[in-house]
Amino acid sequence: MTNAIVLIEAERNALSTLGGLLAGIDGVAEAYSVTGSWDFAVVVRVRDHEQLAEVVTSGIGQLPGVTRTQTMVAFAAYSKHDLEALFSIGEQPTDQSQP
């Protein structure tokens, strides 16, 4: 699995419609309108790097109003849920109903 975050700069007149278009692209897991130097941040989850290249260049990059992108490929993914599961391996659940 390949995970990436794609930052997107857009033309001002495309801001109101681009989020929905981004979310509709196969491989885009989440699309966020953000503040700062970029207009959108998109989370892409695909099978491999070739599919990532297709999503970014033929999908995101071809949408009307997209002026620039920056793609950051993730080396590893971490979440609070994953870390808690890792450290709880072998622990016995405690009965919270007893004083």
Q: What is the per-residue pLDDT across 48-91, written as a single tens digit (0 to 9) for each?
A: 999 999 999 999 999 999 999 999 999 988 877 766 666 766 65
Amino acid at 83: L
Amino acid at 33: S
Q: What is the pLDDT of residue 99?
A: 55
Alpha-carbon distance 2 to 81, whole Å? 19
What domains are defined for the chain? Answer: 2-87 (3.30.70.920)
Q: What is the pLDDT of residue 82?
A: 64
CA 79 from centre of chain: 13
Q: What pTM was estimated for this model as a whole? A: 0.80
Q: What is the pLDDT of residue 56?
A: 98
Q: What is the pLDDT of residue 95?
A: 58
